[in-house]
Amino acid sequence: MKINGPNQTNFNPYKQHLQKQIESKQAMRQDQLEISKQAKQLQEEEKSNPIREAHVAKIKEAVESGEYRINYEKTAEKMMDYWSGKES
């Protein structure tokens, strides 16, 4: 026959305190998203540039109709300027 002292069931104050800490951490946990000022500025510039939108639409139409031609020499020249630091 096993005899236990009084009130031994669920009497661990440390365990109860630990459980409260776990519950509070779970309640405080949230996802956050921070967008830098530079990213916001880029987004605004992208939205408010009608000249660029018209240029992109023109190129898109030329590609879809099969009339768009790539100037390989100019592309290679621009790449060389970029990689050599001669960007204009």
**DSSP codes of every residue in the chain:** -----TT-TT--HHHHHHHHHHHHHHHH--------HHHHHHHHHHHT-HHHHHHHHHHHHHHHHT-----HHHHHHHHHHHHHT---
pLDDT digits (tens, 9 = 90+) for 26-70: 666 677 889 999 999 888 877 777 888 899 999 999 999 999 999
Q: In this structure, is residue 17 part of a structural domain?
A: no
Global pTM?
Answer: 0.38
Q: List the one residue out of 32, 36, 12, 16 whose CA is nearest residue 24.
A: 16
Q: In this structure, is residue 22 part of a structural domain?
A: no
Structural domain harbouring 78:
37-84
Q: In this structure, is residue 25 part of a structural domain?
A: no
**Contact criterion met (CB below 8 Å) for 22 and 16:** no
Please count the structural domains in the chain: 1
How large is the average pLDDT for residues 3-21?
A: 65
